[in-house]
Structure 1
Amino acid sequence: MDEDIRHRTRATVGFTNEIASRPYPMDEPTLQGFRDRHALIRKFYETTRDVFMASLRDEADPAIADSVLSGQPSCRGREHHLRLADSQLSTPLFFRTDEAAPGAIIEVQCPGSGWEMAEQLHRVYQEFPGDFGKPKHFRGPLLGQVAESMRHQLGREPIVHHLTNNASRPHGVVYTIQGLRERGIDHFGWDSVHSRDCNFVRGHDFYDVRYNNFFDQWLEACEGGALTFDHPPTPLYDSKVIMAWPFWATTRQYYPDEVRALFPHTHIVTPEGFRLADGTWISVEEYCAMGRSARAYYLKFAGHDPNLNWGSRAVFHSGSQSGVAARHLFERILADSRKGRPWVIQEARMYPESATAVTRAGTERSLTAYTKFSGFYTPGGLAAVMALQAHSRKVHGADQTVVSIVH
């Protein structure tokens, strides 16, 4: 596995997680739920974009757009968005969900990290069928599906400009690029193509796309139909605050129940308080006075500042804190709120189960873990499901996280 990574990336990082001793066992109805959610996530994205733009055009409450753009300069605020053509305001194409339990989406990222990990695990399973079994659920490697879907989406041979500046796993992006190049997809900076030949731009977030010396060229090409953005040129989809919109009184009316059901209850934290999952409105002081077991919620920075909105950097399980610590955290949250930097409170969902990892020494390590699921989606639908398991409630791609895929 390490040698495969070195061969494709020339990096010595290697595989940084632990591999589960078997593929993740998932029954067909649960897997079908992942497949079915693709259409609902796209509906969520489309509704969110339309409501956001209606707010900017004064056709809906201006507080909606302000929850994303408050305090932003014109180059990425209201004026920027009102200049965008419909083709530039598409919804994300390739995205990854984070699910605290199957069907409980706690975040959606475009494109998100970890695509290379799912590909690497598939390669290991394919190389050692005696240990991991034959595939039952997916028709091929993830990157093969990405390449096929990219060609189908564009209707021509893709020529990709894939940005890596804000990627949390830069070597993983390089692995993905090389995997797609092996499947015949040219990439600017790697193959003999000019920047103006590019017809598909990929970036980890809006800032990576916006502050690039080719940005104006991309906008012009996109408006003319010659280029497509994977991550559209807006911070809207980098902001966790949009997960609160299906529940927020200001925007709730725009979302059907089936879209709202994608997410655990999520609400914007305001100086006056917030609404809990049972419908109760509660002040910050009342919430901090509750016992820890009643505070089964996460507090999350919900803006699009790339210093805070990835890698669980500003995610706190409030039930793990004392009342005093919770009050201190809310002081920070409310100070951010006054500066136009939103936070949300999200109902905690947990999926505890045992896990067994194979260590580098070849031994097995068992642990009681929490599982987080990631669905990887192309424009054509579900392409892979990865399970990440760790002892911590905040499960992400840390070194000792145990990883597997549904095979």
Structure 2
Amino acid sequence: MKKLTIILIFIITLPSVAQQSITLEECYNLVTANYPLAKQSQLLDAQNKLDKAIISTSKLPQFSLDAQATYQSDVIEIPIPNANIEPLNKDQYRATLSVNQLIYNGGLTDASLNLKSTQLKTKQKQIEVNLYQLKQQINQLYFSVLLAQESELLLNAKQTQLEAKLKEVKSGIKYGVVLPSSDKVLEAELLKINQQSQELLSNKMSLIETLSSLISQPLDVSTQFQNPLVKTQLNSELKRPELDLFQFKKEEIENSESLIAKQNSPKLLGFATGGYGNPGLNMLDNSFQPFYTVGAKLNWNVFDWDSNKKQRQSIAINKDILDNETEIFKLNTNIKLNQQKKEIDKIETFIISDLEIINLRKEVLKSADSQLKNGVITSSAYITELTNLYEDENTLVKHEIQLQLAKANYNVIKGL
């Protein structure tokens, strides 16, 4: 008997355990991880590694192989009588292998690598900003589903109340207390409720499908959307990812300045060339000979008509532009926050009034219920009062969801 009880409890509770549920925070995390744009972050990282590997090759020895065969119309001759020196062949051959090794370039390579690193951070932060902007779209869809979910519960409650009232009315008709056609009015209202339920379900399915596509997570009408208790921090500072993006862009500009400044640094290279040819380095030896040269060379662009300086000044102006954009962004964001705060205050005032209205409607409906039982009013009059209460309760639910949405949007605008 004890085992049978345990099995029955398991069977009864299994559907509720298996039922899927989701929270607003989970939707945020899922859209950040699964939205197609998120894949670009890994692609940028792979691309950056390749770019840095290419730049780093400048520190490695550079090899080049050359081979040539020529025929020339004239060659050098030594005009000394009886010198017995053979003139060079007019057909000449040469093959060389050269090695160049960068010794010093003023830190140009390291500056290029630093710039690539900051460019990667900037691009990845831009992706984060774009993904963050999807949060308000998530808010709108999520709380619209919540509203449909709560409205569905209210409509079911109204339907249950009408069905119970229909039984009372039919009993009243049977005993001659209530007018004979009163049950028809209630049955018609129940049919209307069925229509409203179908429309509500259709809208809810559409919202859920859109949200499911956005977060790449399978959802359906059986999914329970948890009602979040959103809290706002009114006096905290802005924590938007755009502010980090502005800072990364500024670092990118500073690294670009550093790279340009190092472009005029002296460059010292070591080189070695080995070869085999006819003639070799000894032009008087008219035969195939091996040869080699080793050395070092310095390259330094001493004077560039202030071109380098002007490039750095031009780039530095971008930092001022970024500071201006940051200031504009903060101003516009604070304006939106102020508007959102007023929206929150307005809805909170509405909710207080909604509660007072509902209490009054319940008193009126209670009186109408008694009057219907005693045949004082018709079913239509009762339905009118019940519908008034339902609509006001629906308005309260709507305002409560709107309040949570306004708070969630406030947090997104602020960056919390």
TM-score in terms of structure 1 length: 0.22
Q: Per residue, is there more helix in 1 or in 2?
A: 2
If the length of structure 2 is used for normalisation, what is the TM-score? 0.21
